[in-house]
Chain A
Amino acid sequence: MSKIIRPGAAYFLFGIFTLVYVALTLWAPTDTDILTRYDLTSSEARNLRLTVTLPYIVIWFFAIFGFVRLKTYSHLIRKSSHGKSLSTIANGLFVLAVGLPLRAIGNRLVSLAEDLQPHLAATSTIIVNYIDIIAGLVAVGLIYTGSQRLMKTTTKSNNKTAPPYLVMIVLALIGTSYTYLTFTNPVRQFPAAEGGHAAYYLPDFLLLFTVVLPYLIIWYMGLHAAYFIRIYRKSVQGIIYKKALAYLAAGIVFVVLSRVAMRYMASLNTIVEAWTLQYLLAIIYCLLIFIAIGYGLIAKGAEKLKKIEEV
């Protein structure tokens, strides 16, 4: 197994993240803006956070489980070109999986920093945002590289490597609207009021080149990787192999698209703020379920492919 990521270490890391996140959920104070906006007491807000915490932890488990299954399968066929490509994709999925708890823990730490040391709010927000971006770039970079190599293992795939025009148009629409929403966000650099919270605490030129542009790159590479996997699945031979691969391919597409959706949702925060709490929670739960479905499909697909190597 790879010296970089071992399944046992992945589960151990998951355990640490869970403990830290639960501790912060119970201990960190709630943003006073949120308490006022949704008319909640501190204990009500904490209980509500716990209802989101538990699904988060289940999602993280699914993510780590999906990665472990795929990594185990890729190790089984490590001497083949497919094995190396799938191992690279698995590493990318691991980084995406780790990014979930890191972001969640980061948000809790930002709340804590704002409460204990208000002058650290800007620094902590910037750090959390950049960790998310760097993790996203590394993750999609690995998934893109692995899926491109996987696609090239089939001779039929060599002609078509550019996504269809429709995909590019959708990507352009998402990117344009995301850029517009980010730069029309009135609290992107400074909080609306004393004690409030800004989204980025960055001047516009830094926001453009270090946040918006990287996210556009992440989405482009993520959707392109999903397209490569689709091409590979269509080109590869083997009736039984293709059926097993379908789960894996669908899972990777689900995971990539749900992460795009989550980031896009975050850019809607000025619109989202006006939504009722129930509606907001419903959207969050839907996205979490999508992520869980994605990693679950990855695990199922990897298990089916692994079985082919064992019988």
Chain B
Amino acid sequence: MIKANSLYQDVLAVTTDYLGPAARRFVDRQIDSHLSKAPEELTKSDLKTLAAWSRVSMALLTNDKQIVNNYVNRLMSLANNGTT
């Protein structure tokens, strides 16, 4: 549970670089809608699915593909080695 919380915080930190004050609400919404779980239940195995859905959502917010790719890559790196 502590590891999951830490992972959630890492996801939040990455997302804040893109969405600022709206980051928490965005991440919570993605986890709830697409993973059907509470934020503290997030695990590394969920990150691939989360990243895929976040790509779709982010693409609706910006036309800059580099920003979207950068964000998704950083999320995926959390699954691989736990760092961004």
Contact = CB atoms under 8 A, between A and B. Distances in A.
Q: Do A and B bind each other?
A: yes
Contact of A309 (B16, B18, B25, B62): B25
A236 B21 contact: yes
A305 B60 CA distance: 12
Interface in A151-193: 153
Interface stretch (A4-12, A31-39, A131-139, A238-246): A238-246
B20 interface: yes
Interface in A195-248: 236-243
Main secondary structure on B side of the interface with A: helix
Contacts of A82: 21
A238 B26 CA distance: 12
A302 to B, nearest CB: 13
B23 A239 contact: no
B61 interface: yes
Contacts of A80: 21, 25
Interface residues of B, number: 16
A309 B61 CA distance: 10
B10 to A, nearest CB: 15
B60 A241 contact: no
Given A77-B25, A308-B26, A238 B19 contact: yes
16 contacts: A236-B21, A238-B16, A238-B20, A238-B22, A240-B58, A240-B67, A241-B18, A241-B19, A241-B20, A241-B22, A308-B22, A308-B26, A309-B22, A309-B25, A311-B26, A311-B58
Given A237-B21, A240-B67, 6 more contacts: A238-B16, A238-B19, A238-B21, A238-B22, A242-B20, A243-B62
Interface of B: 16-23, 25-26, 57-58, 60-62, 67
